Structures are given as structure tokens and as C-alpha cells.
Amino acid sequence: MQPNNTLSLPAVIERFRAYKAANPSWGSLHLVLDDGNVRNKHVTCAAEYALETGDTEGFELAGLLLQLSTTQRQKLRNI
């Protein structure tokens, strides 16, 4: 997964809300969206963890996070 910062937050926010509703502590994305470690290396680590634990949605969302800026990732923490 490589970052490209081309995705808009409104395009994906509902998918992240649904994931958080099912995983109140952000599940596999906890390191990024709960702890606030929003750098690419942290997103990649979360993606690897999601893959290891069979969290398909978390893995796919990590891919989307890589397409968002760090500012957008910070905003997702507050949904």
C-alpha cells in the first residue's frame, strides 16, 4: 500500500463510522484512530495487524487511510 493523498473525507466517512460502531475502540485501526499515530508507518502497521487478525474491513480502511492526508486522518478520530 502506498499513500497518494487523493481521497476526500466525505467520500469515506460513513464507512469509517460503521467500522467504529462495530469496533468502539477502532479495532485494528486503534493505533491510528484512537491513539492518534497518523503517520504512514503507523497506518501500515495497523494494516498488517488487520491482515494478521483477519480483519478485512480494517485492512481495506487502512488502505483508504493511506489515501488521506494526516490532517484528514486526525479529523476521523473525532467521528
User: For the chain, which residues make up each domain, given as ranges?
Assistant: 9-76
Q: How confident is the model at residue 4 (pLDDT cuts 50, 70, 90)?
A: low
Cα dihedral sign for 6, 31, 54, 44? positive
Q: What is the mean pLDDT of residues 1-19?
A: 81
Q: What is the mean pLDDT of residues 12-18?
A: 96
Quick one: cell of 61? Answer: 480502511
* Nearest C-alpha neighbor of 3 from the set 66, 54, 51, 50: 66
Residue 47: what pLDDT?
98
Regarding pTM above 0.95, the answer is no
Give residues with Cβ within 8 angstroms of 41, minimum separation 6.
Answer: none
pLDDT digits (tens, 9 = 90+) for 22-69: 999 999 999 999 999 999 999 999 999 999 999 999 999 999 999 999
Angle, nearest 10°, between helix axes 56-65 and 9-22? Answer: 150
